[in-house]
Amino acid sequence: MTEVAAQKTHVVVVGGGYAGTLAANHLRQRPDIDITLVNPRPVFVERIRLHQLIADTGAATADYATLLGDGIRLVVDAVDRIEATARRVLLSSGAELDYDYLIYAVGSTGATPPAVPGFADFAYAVADLESAQRLRYALADLPLAAPVTVVGGGLTGIETAAELAERGREVTLVCGAGLGPSLSRRGRRSVARRLRGSGVNVLESATVTEVRWDAVVLGDGAVLPSAATIWTAGFAVPDLAARSGLSTDALGRLLTDETLTSVDNPYIVAAGDAAAPSGQPLRMSCQAAGPLGAQAANTVLSRIAGAAPAVLNQAFVGQCISLGRTYGTVQLARTDDTPVNLALGGRTAASIKEAICKGTLWAIRREAAKPGSYRWLKGGRRPAQAPAAVALR
């Protein structure tokens, strides 16, 4: 009598960033799972190095062949819609993929400011690979003395301004909500000292109300010459969940319970920047993305095994900011991501940041070679009262 081979569980991972790639590798702990990773680009993007790409101080991509474990199928395409009831995704190419479980890890991108004249025509972004490449080409055509304006005083704006200034650019950093609002007083002081030393003109509590081809207009009416204006103020998420009729928060992140399972559908699990567990998302960062990817994969593995998934459990340690290639700031934090008034600045901090950047890819590659080896810091999140996810059916 011929034995019929058991049908494998098919898991589709949408998004091949830090969370999605880690999740795909983590799923390989079970040999009876077919894993498909869908990503619009054929290469992995190191978003934490995009400011280096634009300044021509480093690359920001890696080959998926070096990151994904054996047996993971990579589909280079975009997902137009998730048909949750049918458990199917529709791709931009016209193809369709059926799934048993889906991990939603679409990440984030730069926010589009409302009603800023000239933004769409003249501003550059650094939140994704294509935008960073366009900016790199634009900067290559400008003399070093040409003024550059970076809008946004968060970590992306700080790192971008510092990287360009270290290369000899004339940089103005416009900080609408102040410099480094996520940092402590000492952290901001460390960052401000280095920016001043690099020649960055920091404008705190200033806003940009118009972007022109050769200037920006500030909220007080002042006109600031700007040969290239780089917008780093705020992040957004793709609208795939909303377009697919799934429940999201105000920003568009997929609403989940504390096991990262969609509140609408038990076969969809979220990870990374586009997840909003209990409506209380973690800070958008690769520090959060990797652990979220592993935990999303664990939820799927538990459901396949017929076990109850564990609730979200991860902690933060701080924030690392590169301020050029030779200086950095490490802002320490409580496990709940609240900054403490303690920061380390200088060459040692720069070395720590570089080690973390390298270590992030190392961890993904190690998980590819040894599924289940990934570890993360726990104990920082207090489980909230979440909307109950629907039961398996």
Q: How confident is the model at residue 382 (pLDDT cuts 50, 70, 90)?
A: low
What backbone torsions phi and psi does residue 166 show, to the nearest 5 degrees?
-65, -25
Q: CA dist 122 to 118, 126, 191, 214, Å?
A: 6, 14, 28, 9
DSSP 329-345: EEEEE-TTSPEEEEEEE
Rounded to 10 degrees, the C-alpha dihedral 176/182/183/184 comes to: 100
Q: What is the pLDDT of residue 3?
A: 52
Q: Domains in the chain: how many in total? A: 2
Domain assignment of residue 84, given as a range:
9-108+237-315+360-369
Beta carbons of 60 and 327 less than 8 angstroms apart: no
Q: Are residues 209 and 272 in the same domain?
A: no
Beta carbons of 251 and 106 less than 8 angstroms apart: no
Q: Is residue 303 part of a domain?
A: yes
**Rounded-to-integer distance, Cα 218 and Cα 276, Å:** 34
Of 231, 266, 301, the last residue of a domain is: 231
Q: Are residues 149 and 217 in the same domain?
A: yes
Q: What is the pLDDT of residue 268?
A: 98
Q: What is the pLDDT of residue 5?
A: 59
Beta carbons of 307 and 370 less than 8 angstroms apart: no
Q: How do residues 15-38 score in pLDDT, each as one tens digit?
A: 999 999 999 999 999 999 999 999
Check whether 390 has a pLDDT greater than 80. Answer: no
Average the pLDDT over 56-74 and give the result. 97
Q: How do residues 107-165 score in pLDDT, each as one tens digit?
A: 999 888 888 999 999 999 999 999 999 999 999 999 999 999 999 999 999 999 999 99
CATH number of the structural domain spanning residue 76: 3.50.50.60
Beta carbons of 128 and 136 less than 8 angstroms apart: no
Q: How confident is the model at residue 391 (pLDDT cuts 50, 70, 90)?
A: very low
Q: In this predicted structure, which of 8-12, 291-295, 377-381 has the lowest mean pLDDT? A: 377-381
Mean pLDDT of the chain: 94
- Bridge partners for 320 per DSSP: 330
Q: Is residue 374 part of a domain?
A: no
The stretches of the chain forming alpha helices (DSSP H) are 18-26, 50-55, 119-122, 129-140, 155-166, 185-197, 240-243, 286-305, 347-369
Helix, strand, coil shares, percent, the chain, to 5: 30, 25, 45
Q: How confident is the model at residue 380 (pLDDT cuts 50, 70, 90)?
A: confident
Q: Are residues 257 and 365 in the same domain?
A: yes
**Residue 113 exposure: Cα atoms within 13 Å on the Cβ side:** 23
**Rounded-to-integer distance, Cα 50 and Cα 132, Å:** 6
Q: Are residues 204 and 278 in the same domain?
A: no
Q: What is the pLDDT of residue 392?
A: 46
**Rounded-to-integer distance, Cα 113 and Cα 200, Å:** 24
Q: pTM for the complete prediction? A: 0.94
Q: What is the pLDDT of residue 386?
A: 42
